[in-house]
Amino acid sequence: MSSIKTALLALLIAISTSANASVVTFSGSPSLGFADGTFSHHLSTHFADGFYMYGSSTSAFNGYGQNGEWISFNTPVHLDFLEVKNWVSPFYGVSSLTVSLFNTTGGLLTSQTVVPTSTTFDLLSFETNNVSKVLFNFTGGTNVYGDGRAAAWYIVKDVTYSVNQADVPEPASIALLGLGLAGVAVARRRKTKAM
């Protein structure tokens, strides 16, 4: 019976020690980088566009309403989720926002398009491996700066990622396999004692 208790304890420990998730942090105006990557900046030759921290270090907006801002990771990651919201003023907000994930060779992995509101954040769940770049493109906007481009603003927060899940075995699966093997051993032992 003690082997079953040991196996259950091992299972509980394995389940509680899952891979750690990280959150992209923003600092500066514009933010240039974070612990595991960099941000786009100066896509426009006229303005210091990029992601500007907004409220907290895990939230930012696209400075100067620039389209095509991106987040790039130094090594491919598993992108869990992120949240987006339209700018606080509907006049300066986006009509729609497309978030696209790319691998290291520039191949599109997946994308999601949302029509964000200015009152609540929309959760975009990706659960995608091998992400090297997250690209943000919007529709809508107005020629606010008189430079011929449509400018619009959105807010992004809690960009959550972790080590590629294919690179790290799932502890709970390994523990369940071990528990199953222990169960087989106990059943075999009982069968042997019964004979």
Q: Which pLDDT value is given to residue 165?
A: 59
Residue 88 — very low, low, confident or very high, per pLDDT cuts 50/70/90? confident
Q: Which pLDDT value is given to residue 20?
A: 82
Euclidean distance between CA atoms 158 and 39, whole angstroms: 15
Cβ contact 68:138 at 8 Å: no
pLDDT exceeding 90 applies to what percent of the chain? Answer: 56
Q: Which residue has the tokens 């040991």?
A: 6
- List, for residues 95-139, the tens digit of each pLDDT value: 999 999 999 999 999 999 999 999 999 999 999 999 999 999 999
Q: Which pLDDT value is given to residue 12?
A: 38
Cβ contact 15:175 at 8 Å: yes
- List, for residues 18-59, the tens digit of each pLDDT value: 458 999 999 988 999 999 999 998 887 778 899 999 999 999
Q: Which pLDDT value is given to residue 8?
A: 43
- Residues 53-74, mean pLDDT to the nearest whole number: 94
Euclidean distance between CA atoms 89 and 91, whole angstroms: 5
158's tokens: 């809690």
Euclidean distance between CA atoms 160 and 90, whole angstroms: 27
Q: Let me know if 120 is exposed, middle or buried by CB neighbors in 10 A (0-12, 13-18, 19+).
A: exposed
Euclidean distance between CA atoms 9 and 112, whole angstroms: 41
- List, for residues 144-172, the tens digit of each pLDDT value: 888 888 999 999 999 999 987 554 455 55
- State the average pLDDT for the chain: 83
